[in-house]
Amino acid sequence: MQANGCRILSLNSQKEYLITVGTYGLSDLYLKKGPLDARKSLPDILEGKVVFIADAAKDERVQYPQIALAQGISSIIGVPVLGKGETIGEIRIYTHEPRQFSEADRSFLHSVADMCAVVFERAELHQLLEQDHKTRGRRKKSSQVPPLPTTLESSSFAHPSEEDFAKLLDFYCIEWLYEPRSFPLRWQGGKIAEMFTPDFYLPELDLYVELTTLKQNLLTEKNRKLRQLRELYPEVNIRLLNKNDFLKLLAKYGYGPLGEAKVEGIDRVLYSNAKIQRRIRTLARHISRDYTGQRLVLIGILKGVVCFMADLMQHLSLPVTLDFMAISYYGGDGQVVKITRDLDSSITGQHVLMVEDIVDTGMTLNYILSHLSAHNPASLRVCTLLDKRARRLVNVPLDYVGFEVPDEFVVGYGLDYKGEYRNLPFIGILHPELIKGEGPTPT
Ligand code: IMP
């Protein structure tokens, strides 16, 4: 195709970042210019469309135009890599001369993209099998597939402590990218004379992390570079971490040995607080869009919903009112379910959104929905943070779902086991030994 460069990118599991998995003809600086935000960087790709950029230096869809200019890149064409009809990656072709791409070029790129899709899917399957193999015996089912390129298997670390750090991040489900960006620090005669490449970028925290080896001479040098980086790039959030610092950082989010008092009894973290908050912002956006121009009554069932309700409502750009209910749970004593606390205000003729922490068998929600429908609201929809679909007995309609969770007992972020764990800032899986075959016993 007479191209000067090419790169193959993979979308991370949350479809937020494009990460390079293969390249040809591009300089190290260009490749390490930073993680590409999938929504800012050619959003049409996410919708499965081909993107053509005639002049990279002037097109506002290009995220790092100065670097493109410095590298002499003029035209770019991006073709989505589609898996099961959804964008899972992209192929980008770069040229130094401004040029158009013919129909034959485009059709050739689509064929290559189809081949990439097969490779991506095989790689993902391979990772799933590896993960399953590693965790078999320890837990029944692996619920989270790590994003394709940022896994321990596919990253070659410069230092063993970096691999340890990545393992810890994986354990706490904190997404990471290894050395995604190099920052030029010094120039000489128009050329870059010195660069700094932090070890990790944690997208959820928008934080770069550089690990230290604790050797004093190296530490002084790193501190100097960091000072320079902060001066040149004040918007960049970077931390120099030694092991102790790292443990303190985790403790701030309620994880790790220093946050142990809180996480005793937790097998593993399923969703970090940052991930929950991000998902809630997306849900709130969808709800605000769907109810534009209307007033909404949010109804929650006490007590598990408190954290979710509090965070969700803050992100709704609508006039809302709140109400709560409480119900009795199954106690095996021959009693039938009872509403122990009913609504304060009438919902007749109102738009009602039932907010739930988790839908498991669906029996609770089914009961509540029929109770609410009897009051003739103008509309009645359901928003649940967690959907334990595998255990559903009653088919209840869910309009907004945060996460589909595996068939495990989860606690934290409002959810309890025998009244405890509600205050954890994350959602974690309870040690199976603690439950000893009991069903959920919500309070
Ligand atoms: P249902 O089975 O859908 O009726 O769910 C009933 C209630 O059980 C939920 O509202 C939660 O309070 C509780 N529950 C179900 N699964 C879990 C879990 O994994 N952790 C904590 N509470 C749960």
CATH number, domain with residue 395:
3.40.50.2020
Mean pLDDT for 65-70 is: 76
Name the pLDDT band for 135 (thresholds 50, 70, 90): very low
User: Is residue 160 in some structural domain?
Assistant: no
pLDDT greater than 70 at residue 29: no
Mean pLDDT for 331-360 is: 88
Percent of the chain with pLDDT over 90: 38
User: Is residue 155 in some structural domain?
Assistant: no
Query: Which pLDDT score, from 0 to 100, does residue 37 have?
Result: 66
Q: Where are the alpha helices (DSSP H) in 237-362?
A: 243-252, 260-263, 273-290, 306-314
Q: Are residues 205 and 311 in the same domain?
A: no
Query: Which pLDDT score, from 0 to 100, does residue 20 have?
Result: 76
User: Is residue 54 in some structural domain?
Assistant: yes
Q: Are residues 287 and 359 in the same domain?
A: yes
Q: Are residues 115 and 192 in the same domain?
A: no
Query: At 43, phi and psi to the nearest 5?
Result: -60, -25
Q: What is the DSSP string of 198-232?
A: -SEEEGGGTEEEEE----HHHHHHHHHHHHHHHHH
Ligand 1, atom 20, lies closest to the CA of 410
Single residue among 206, 233, 260 that ends a domain in this structure: 260
Residues paired with residue 358 on neighbouring β-strands, in sequence order: 386
Query: How many Cα atoms are found within 13 Å in the side-chain-facing hemisphere of 173?
Result: 22
442 lines ligand 1 (CB under 6 A): yes
* Omega before 303 within 30 of 0, i.e. cis: yes
User: Is residue 166 in some structural domain?
Assistant: no
Single residue among 260, 290, 313 that ends a domain in this structure: 260
Q: Are residues 276 and 375 in the same domain?
A: yes
Name the pLDDT band for 84 (thresholds 50, 70, 90): confident
Question: Ligand 1 centre from 272 Cα, in Å?
Answer: 20
How many Å apart are CA 383 and CA 398, to the nearest integer?
6
How many Å apart are CA 41 and CA 47, to the nearest integer?
12
410 lines ligand 1 (CB under 6 A): yes
Query: Which pLDDT score, from 0 to 100, does residue 251 have?
Result: 64
Burial (Cβ within 10 Å: 0-12, 13-18, ≥19) of residue 395 = exposed
Task: Give the range of the structural domain holding residue 369, as residue numbers without chain letter.
Answer: 271-435
Q: Which range has the worst mean pLDDT, 150-154, 270-274, 335-339, 429-433? A: 150-154
Question: Ligand 1 centre from 384 Cα, in Å?
Answer: 11
Q: Which range has the worst mean pLDDT, 42-51, 151-160, 207-216? A: 151-160
Question: Ligand 1 centre from 23 Cα, in Å?
Answer: 47
**Closest ligand 1 atom to 415 CA:** 21
Question: Ligand 1 centre from 360 Cα, in Å?
Answer: 5
Query: Which pLDDT score, from 0 to 100, does residue 352 have?
Result: 98
Ligand 1, atom 9, lies closest to the CA of 358
pLDDT greater than 50 at residue 428: yes
How many Å apart are CA 154 and CA 89, to the nearest integer?
17
User: What's the domain count of the chain?
Assistant: 3
Pick from 271, 360, 405 the residue to mutate for probing ligand 1's pocket: most ligand atoms within 8 Å of its CB: 360
Q: Are residues 253 and 286 in the same domain?
A: no
Q: What is the CATH number of the domain that holds 68?
A: 3.30.450.40
Single residue among 146, 161, 192 that ends a domain in this structure: 146
Name the pLDDT band for 148 (thresholds 50, 70, 90): very low
Q: Are residues 253 and 276 in the same domain?
A: no
Q: Are residues 254 and 290 in the same domain?
A: no
The model scores a pTM over 0.85 = no
Name the pLDDT band for 275 (thresholds 50, 70, 90): confident
Q: Are residues 203 and 277 in the same domain?
A: no
Query: At 22, phi and psi to the nearest 5?
Result: -160, 145
Q: Are residues 379 and 411 in the same domain?
A: yes
User: Is residue 275 in some structural domain?
Assistant: yes
Q: Are residues 249 and 276 in the same domain?
A: no
User: Is residue 27 in some structural domain?
Assistant: yes
Q: Are residues 12 and 140 in the same domain?
A: yes
